[in-house]
């Protein structure tokens, strides 16, 4: 399969701090690639290297075969960026911002005007096209930035926390748009804290911590490989001491979650019998009983802890 | 760089210049340090002195072009670093030199437009321009030279605080005004004054204006033009090289 982004041994130091530490990965053409990690893990630094904003100390990165270090202008011509911090020109109107981006990417005048009109309508900003971005809400600014990124019809789109701090409706619109453009052939590199967003959107996910890649796989495979995170969630008609349930065989850990108790195990089916026996012996009624696959958040926390050596 | 790529980058530089003019011409520091302050400085030095109109005109045009061409340039990079717009520009397919040329073009056009005002005032008051071609060429060259100087002044330190850059810029600009024959023709100063004046690009412009209006100059017209071209190249190359080096520290 064709590669859109190729990263080899990429390293970035800020003084004595290594923000990105010899990372390697490939993003396939046409996929949505999630980049997850806690704050300060190296996500934004990686994006800023890949988009040519900063230079790495060592290693290489190529976008559609163009080295971001040796051929930065060619590489930048085929990408667009939605940075973490809103940065449309607030003293320009929405329309002027879009025209500026079109000119910076060499989009012909007629085409940039057509695209801008279409995108502003798609994002519900057309009525406000002649208003200064200064007066826009956070959601409107984020939509404008996405319009600016999509105006150039990029082959690869970098999004750094694109829905952070947005209301549910705006976040959903942006997620739907990402899906739509990806369907139309745009490769998407998405950095996010939002596990559910990554789960819904991404074909594959890389988890980064302390500047190193902890895992790369599809969300489903990551969940399945973390068998120790499978669990059974149970609730009884009366309160039950959690430590009693943790003594049941094959239960690795028991946690009280609201009115339920979650029992982590790599053999969920085998402990169901033990739980019914326990309920019978204590005269309890089982109100609900569910087997759960690990969530992406569980996998993320586990990998980060393992990586940290907890 | 192939020619078509160079021209494409130049087109993008003009897009940046258009954006700069839209955004920065009415910003506080630009209006204060580019228009108001030099105007009052000029009044302070000229009122009450029995100077011939041609000499006043030389000073006024020199001040106008020098301050206005250097007013936008130093402010842009720190403003945009702070607002995170610089990161947007750097991630676009535009070379650093093209971003800076865009900023210089904006400053150049602003300076040139502003300095037309004293030119018109001079003509209305009866100043005779004996060589309009040299004056126009000199103004174009000087505006570009001072615009490049302004952008160079924002290169170091790599700060995102516009007032820091404006302060440094004023520290450099004001002494240059006093040593460059704006208020006193350099042939009327001491030997050491003339030596110091030779290090200022403004000296050669005021000398050229003096030649075009009063028919007298300290240097030959050829020297004035060569010096202005030399200073322009020096400022331009230094601005690009230093900004390329310090830009990552602003991002």
> Domain for residue A239, yes or no?
yes
**A184 plus A46 within the same structural domain:** yes
Q: What is the CATH number of the domain that holds A120?
A: 3.40.50.300
What span, in angstroms and rounded, lies between the C-alpha atoms of B16 and B20? Answer: 6
pLDDT score at B184: 81
* Among the listed residues A173, A158, A107, A92, the one whose alpha carbon sits nearest the alpha carbon of residue B87: A158
List C-alpha distances in Å: A40 to A44, A45, A264, B248: 8, 9, 30, 19
Give pLDDT tens digits for B131-152.
999 999 999 999 999 999 999 9
pLDDT score at A55: 93
Chain A residue set in contact with B, beta carbons under 8 Å: 48, 51-55, 72-74, 76-77, 79, 81, 83, 85-87, 89-92, 96, 100-101, 103-106
Contacts of B235 by beta carbon, 8 Å cutoff, 6+ apart: B145, B148, B149, B151, B152, B201
Contacts of B64 by beta carbon, 8 Å cutoff, 6+ apart: B38, B114, B115, B117, B118
Which of B13, B88, B251 best probes binding to A when mutated, by most A CB atoms within 10 angstroms? B88
Q: Higher pLDDT residue, B69 or A85?
A: B69
> Domain for residue A306, yes or no?
no
**A182 plus A236 within the same structural domain:** no
How many domains would you assign to chain A?
A: 2
**A196 plus A271 within the same structural domain:** no
Helix (H) or strand (E) holding A184: none
**A236 plus A189 within the same structural domain:** no
pLDDT score at A202: 93
Burial classification of residue A283, based on how many CB atoms lie within 10 Å of its CB (0-12 exposed, 13-18 middle, 19 or more buried) = exposed
- Contact yes or no for A100 and B94 at CB 8 A: no
Burial classification of residue B28, based on how many CB atoms lie within 10 Å of its CB (0-12 exposed, 13-18 middle, 19 or more buried) = exposed
Task: Give contacts of B12 with chain A, Cβ < 8 Å.
Answer: 103-104, 106
Task: State the virtual CA torsion across A79, A82, A88, A93 in degrees, nearest 10.
Answer: 80
* Among the listed residues A193, A183, A121, the one whose alpha carbon sits nearest the alpha carbon of residue A163: A193
Buried b (16+ CB within 10 A) or exposed e, A285-304: eeeeeeeeebbbebbbbbbb
Of all residues in chain B, the percent with pLDDT exceeding 70 is 98
Q: What is the mean pLDDT of residues A90-109?
A: 96
Give pLDDT tens digits for B53-64.
888 888 888 988
pLDDT tops 80 at residue A299: no
Buried b (16+ CB within 10 A) or exposed e, B35-54: bebbeebbeebeeeeeeeeb
Q: What is the mean pLDDT of residues B95-99?
A: 96
Distance from CA of A135 to the nearest CA of B (A): 15
Q: Higher pLDDT residue, A253 or A132?
A: A132
Return the DSSP state at A68. Answer: T
Q: What is the CATH number of the domain that holds A288?
A: 3.30.70.980
pLDDT tops 90 at residue A52: yes
Of all residues in chain A, the percent with pLDDT exceeding 90 is 53
- Contact yes or no for A73 and B91 at CB 8 A: no
pLDDT score at A86: 57
pLDDT score at A228: 66
pLDDT tops 80 at residue B27: no
> Domain for residue A301, yes or no?
no
Q: Which domain holds residue A93?
A: 3-224
Q: What is the mean pLDDT of residues A35-51?
A: 90
From the list B91, B94, B248, which residue is nearest A51 (CB)? Answer: B91
A to B CB pairs, distance under 8 Å:
69
What span, in angstroms and rounded, lies between the C-alpha atoms of A211 and A10? Answer: 10
Q: Is B127 helix (H, G, I), strand (E, B) or coil?
A: coil
pLDDT tops 70 at residue A1: no
Task: Give contacts of B88 with chain A, Cβ < 8 Å.
Answer: 81, 83, 87
**A186 plus A213 within the same structural domain:** yes
B117 touches B77 (CB < 8 A): no
Q: Can you tell me which residue has the tokens 């002649």?
A: A130
A8 touches A181 (CB < 8 A): no
pLDDT score at A101: 96
Give pLDDT tens digits for A184-217.
999 999 998 788 888 889 999 999 888 999 889 9
> Domain for residue A302, yes or no?
no
Domain closes at, from A224, A246, A268: A224
Task: Give contacts of A147 with chain B, Cβ < 8 Å.
Answer: none
Name the closest residue on chain A to residue B84, using Cα atoms: A87
Q: What is the mean pLDDT of residues B157-185?
A: 86
pLDDT score at A307: 65
Instruction: List residues bridging with A235 in a β-sheet.
Output: A288
pLDDT band of A40, cuts 50, 70, 90: confident
**A172 plus A284 within the same structural domain:** no
User: How is chain B split into domains, by residue range?
Assistant: 3-175+233-250
- Contact yes or no for B94 and A87 at CB 8 A: no
Give pLDDT tens digits for A265-296.
878 888 888 888 888 988 889 999 888 877 77
**A102 plus A159 within the same structural domain:** yes
Task: State the virtual CA torsion across B48, B52, B53, B56 in degrees, nearest 10.
Answer: -60
- Contact yes or no for A73 and B251 at CB 8 A: no
What span, in angstroms and rounded, lies between the C-alpha atoms of A267 and A227? Answer: 9
What span, in angstroms and rounded, lies between the C-alpha atoms of A119 and A99? Answer: 12
Supply φ then ψ for residue A36, to 5 degrees. -110, 150
pLDDT tops 90 at residue B201: yes
Distance from CA of A51 to the nearest CA of B (A): 6
Q: Is A66 helix (H, G, I), strand (E, B) or coil?
A: strand
Alpha helices in chain A (DSSP H): 43-50, 72-77, 94-104, 109-122, 138-151, 168-183, 195-201, 219-225, 242-246, 268-282, 296-308
**Most confident residue range from A173-182, B68-77, B133-142:** B133-142
> Domain for residue A298, yes or no?
no
**A93 plus A187 within the same structural domain:** yes
- Mean pLDDT score of chain A: 89
pLDDT score at B43: 76
pLDDT score at B231: 97
Name the closest residue on chain A to residue B26, using Cα atoms: A91
**A171 plus A271 within the same structural domain:** no
> Domain for residue A251, yes or no?
yes
pLDDT tops 90 at residue A71: yes
> Domain for residue A303, yes or no?
no
Name the closest residue on chain A to residue B10, using Cα atoms: A104
pLDDT score at B41: 74
**A234 plus A159 within the same structural domain:** no
**Most confident residue range from A131-135, A276-280, B36-40:** A131-135
pLDDT score at B151: 94
**A106 plus A158 within the same structural domain:** yes
> Domain for residue A309, yes or no?
no
From the list B23, B91, B248, which residue is nearest A55 (CB)? Answer: B248
Q: Higher pLDDT residue, B28 or A101?
A: A101
Name the closest residue on chain A to residue B248, using Cα atoms: A54
**A182 plus A279 within the same structural domain:** no
B92 touches A101 (CB < 8 A): yes
pLDDT band of A37, cuts 50, 70, 90: confident
CA B246 to chain centroid, in Å, comes to 22
Give pLDDT tens digits for A213-266.
988 998 888 877 766 677 888 999 988 888 888 888 888 888 888 889 988 887
What pTM, to 2 d.p., does this model score? 0.85
């Amino acid at each position: 399969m064709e590669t859109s982004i190729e990263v080899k041994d990429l390293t970035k130091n800020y003084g004595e701090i290594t923000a990105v530490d010899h990372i390697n990965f490939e993003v396939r053409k046409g996929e949505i690639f999630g980049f997850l990690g806690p704050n300060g893990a190296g996500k934004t630094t990686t994006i800023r290297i890949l988009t040519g904003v900063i230079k790495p100390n060592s290693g290489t990165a190529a976008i559609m075969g163009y080295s971001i270090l040796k051929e930065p202008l060619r590489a930048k011509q085929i990408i667009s960026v939605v940075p973490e911090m809103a940065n449309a020109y607030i003293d320009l109107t929405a329309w002027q911002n879009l025209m500026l981006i079109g000119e910076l990417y060499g989009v012909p005048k007629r085409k940039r005007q057509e695209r801008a009109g279409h995108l502003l309508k798609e994002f519900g900003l057309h009525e406000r096209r002649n208003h200064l971005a200064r007066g826009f809400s956070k959601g409107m600014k984020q939509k404008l930035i996405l319009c600016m990124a999509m105006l150039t019809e990029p082959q690869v789109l970098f999004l750094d926390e694109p829905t952070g701090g947005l209301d549910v409706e705006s976040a959903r619109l942006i997620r739907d748009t990402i899906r739509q453009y990806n369907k139309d052939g745009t490769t998407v590199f998405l950095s996010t804290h939002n596990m559910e967003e990554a789960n819904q959107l991404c074909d594959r996910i890389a988890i980064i911590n302390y500047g190193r890649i902890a895992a790369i796989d599809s969300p489903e495979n990551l969940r399945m490989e973390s068998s120790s995170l499978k669990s059974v969630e149970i609730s009884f008609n009366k309160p039950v001491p959690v430590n009693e349930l943790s003594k049941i065989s094959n239960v690795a850990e028991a946690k009280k979650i609201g009115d339920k108790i979650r029992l982590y195990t790599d053999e969920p089916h085998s402990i169901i019998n033990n739980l019914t026996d326990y309920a019978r012996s204590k005269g309890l009624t089982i109100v609900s009983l569910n087997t759960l696959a690990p969530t992406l958040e569980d996998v993320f926390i586990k990998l980060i802890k393992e990586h940290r050596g907890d | 760089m192939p020619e078509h790529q160079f021209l494409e980058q130049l087109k993008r530089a003009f897009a940046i210049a258009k954006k700069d003019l839209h955004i920065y011409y009415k910003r506080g520091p630009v209006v204060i340090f580019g228009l108001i302050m030099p105007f009052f400085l000029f009044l302070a030095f000229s009122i009450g002195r029995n100077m011939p109109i041609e000499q006043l005109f030389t000073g006024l045009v020199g001040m106008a072009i020098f301050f206005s061409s250097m007013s936008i340039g130093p402010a842009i990079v720190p403003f945009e670093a702070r607002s995170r717009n610089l990161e947007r520009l750097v991630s676009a397919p535009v070379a650093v030199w093209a971003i800076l040329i865009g900023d210089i073009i904006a400053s150049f056009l602003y300076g040139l437009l502003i300095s037309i005002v004293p030119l018109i005032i001079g003509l209305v008051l009866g100043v005779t321009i004996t060589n309009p071609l040299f004056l126009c060429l000199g103004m174009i060259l000087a505006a570009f030279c001072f615009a490049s100087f302004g952008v160079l002044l924002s290169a170091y330190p790599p700060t995102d605080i516009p007032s820091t850059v404006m302060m440094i810029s004023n520290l450099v600009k004001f002494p240059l005004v006093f040593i460059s024959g704006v208020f006193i023709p350099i042939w009327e100063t001491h030997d050491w004054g003339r030596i110091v004046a030779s290090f200022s690009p403004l000296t050669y412009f005021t000398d050229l204006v003096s030649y075009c209006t009063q028919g007298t100059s300290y240097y030959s017209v050829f020297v004035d033009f060569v010096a202005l071209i030399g200073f322009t190249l020096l400022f331009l190359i230094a601005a690009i090289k230093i900004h390329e080096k310090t830009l990552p520290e602003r991002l």
